[in-house]
Structure 1
């Protein structure tokens, strides 16, 4: 059998299948970058972002311009959606090949071979009306307006951050912005609200996770977490790629904090940067005994924005290290490997 080509999706998936073990806890300093620091020039911010991304593949941002009130409103809308009766949510079930709408325990990670214990609702604005994926106001008042506004705010932040990487890569400032165009029918960036299932509702088996170890398929992920709702763990991409396959991975817990956006590099940007920016391995573990507290024993909601290049964008490695591929083809291959059906 011919081995998969270096840099191919098959190679990336084969590597991901080695990431499923428990691993060990490791303390790491997570870079915190203040985009509103009045003493820092744009070049200083660009350098700080590049250094953090090239070193560990993830970083956190404050001074990002998204008001906490808007974050709280998005989480409130998320909780209302997931509290809807199942038969109402099922009306907005994710159609095939859309990466949009509601899904319940359909994501199966190559790293674990098991389904994530979560439900999600994904907003890809270019596809929502075509497939009638928005709840009506009668079903959920103001839900659409809240999430559309929050999607736009996260898109703006993601493009500002990607402009920093564009400058460091020698591209023009709007290189990535032009390839994430919300007015295009090829737009495929996604806002995802997530609800991790109550422990009492989960039939846990060895090796299962709220979200198994994986890298993201996009250029850049922005993640909002709620204080006190722990579970996210990260492992720098450079360490994961360079380790002995038989050695345990070292995982670092990311403490949720209000006003802080956790960011990680995805596979698209890793390819676009000739692997100078490694994509970040991460997972969501089950709550530990000391994190179980009465009615809050398992509460975890998060909201992620995935900046995924438009379908017609060509992901082309500057040096030719990776073969050119449209973002549509790349994303569909990764999704097909991770979702049932």
Structure 2
């Protein structure tokens, strides 16, 4: 049995089925409540096999031990919107709703650089942007495994996650599916290298500063290192630890869906910090791995305030916007 902490709500998909039962409606209600009140939830019984998650972590570990010249055979393009391939340490710096060029420059070269590297994989069938792979001869088997993992996450998204959210919001079960037909999602394999504990304590290096995600939502898988913290819903400004729990998937709302819902749903600040110094660690903070599956709406779809999220006492806050226009604005601010 999965032992869950009490810091975040838990949504159990075991009895969701095809989404037509009373149990499915209750699951949808629980998911909506979690997204409205906290913006984060542990998901269990998703149908994503733990052994497949473990396998993806194993491939990630192998990937980041490859020589730099091998990893750079699949370089992330200079544009943030072309989010595929390998990105080295310090290349991306998280910014929170900052778009001014000078402010972004200060963030990228400031005191607290994000100390991480990552590899991004999108829909293998995408016509908009192609995946960038390390040649098969250099890393045999990785491409096939990563594509299969992407497809498994996508299957949960379309068969359970988005329908449950729609049901919870009293929308037609397939409402969100019509806006996510192109599968323009991505898997990000993240590696936070080990480093002397002193550089984290001094602020010379960080892992990821406080930020919100900016798509529809994120599925997050953690290793056993820990370090993820979420802004407390009861005490804003205080961050609470969100420990890894085998057999679970973390889900959180992104800024795009928060905007789409007229701020009914909550995109919550979160960060990754290096764990505190421990006896026996020899002054070195261990490396950390995580895997994120980012869900985004079809780029050519225009969205406006969701039904049920506005009225005489809650006017619309935002103008209609194309998903691609919003996403490009946010992605380009990272690079």
Contact 1:80 1:140 in 2 (8 A): no
2:331 maps to 1:323: no
Residue 138 of structure 1: aligned partner: 137
Counting only pairs closer than 5 Å after superposition, residues 59-98 of structure 1 correspond to structure 2 as 59-95=41-77, 96=79, 97-98=81-82
2:209 maps to 1:212: yes
Give the aligned CA root-mean-square deviation in angstroms.
2.8
Contact 1:58 1:236 in 2 (8 A): no
2:149 maps to 1:150: yes
Counting only pairs closer than 5 Å after superposition, residues 132-211 of structure 1 correspond to structure 2 as 133-159=132-158, 160-181=160-181, 184=182, 187-200=183-196, 204=200, 205-206=202-203, 208-211=205-208
Report the CA distance shift for 1:128/1:119 in structure 2 as closer, same or farther (over 3 A): farther
Q: Deviations over 1:142-183 (max 9, x none)?
A: 1011111111111122232121222233432222223222xx
CA–CA distance in structure 2, aligned partners of residues 335 and 82 of structure 1 = 23
2:309 maps to 1:303: no
- Quote how far apart the aligned CAs of 1:236 are: 4.8
Contact 2:216 2:255 in 1 (8 A): yes
Residue 234 of structure 1: aligned partner: 230
CA–CA distance in structure 2, aligned partners of residues 93 and 254 of structure 1 = 32
- Quote how far apart the aligned CAs of 1:209 are: 2.1
Residue 250 of structure 2: aligned partner: 262
In structure 2, stretches of 5+ residues that fail to align are 97-105, 311-315
Contact 1:267 1:279 in 2 (8 A): yes
Report the CA distance shift for 1:234/1:207 in structure 2 as closer, same or farther (over 3 A): farther
Contact 1:92 1:132 in 2 (8 A): no
Contact 2:87 2:119 in 1 (8 A): yes
Contact 1:238 1:278 in 2 (8 A): no
2:116 maps to 1:118: yes
Q: Deviations over 1:33-77 (max 9, x none)?
A: 221159970011011111111111100011111111101111111
CA–CA distance in structure 1, aligned partners of residues 155 and 209 of structure 2 = 29
Instruction: With the length of structure 1 as denominator, give the TM-score of the two structures.
Output: 0.80
Contact 1:197 1:298 in 2 (8 A): yes
2:106 maps to 1:106: no
Report the CA distance shift for 1:284/1:32 in structure 2 as closer, same or farther (over 3 A): same
- Quote how far apart the aligned CAs of 1:130 are: 6.0
Q: Deviations over 1:51-110 (max 9, x none)?
A: 111111100011111111101111111111111111111121111231111112222223
Contact 2:305 2:320 in 1 (8 A): yes
- Quote how far apart the aligned CAs of 1:289 are: 0.8
Contact 1:237 1:278 in 2 (8 A): no
Report the CA distance shift for 1:176/1:294 in structure 2 as closer, same or farther (over 3 A): farther
Q: Which moved more, 1:118-127 or 1:271-280?
A: 118-127
Contact 2:274 2:285 in 1 (8 A): no
Structure 1 residue matching 2:278: 3-state secondary structure: helix
Report the CA distance shift for 1:74/1:295 in structure 2 as closer, same or farther (over 3 A): farther
- Quote how far apart the aligned CAs of 1:188 are: 2.4
Count of paired positions: 300
Contact 2:166 2:172 in 1 (8 A): yes
CA–CA distance in structure 2, aligned partners of residues 274 and 291 of structure 1 = 48
Residue 100 of structure 2: aligned partner: none
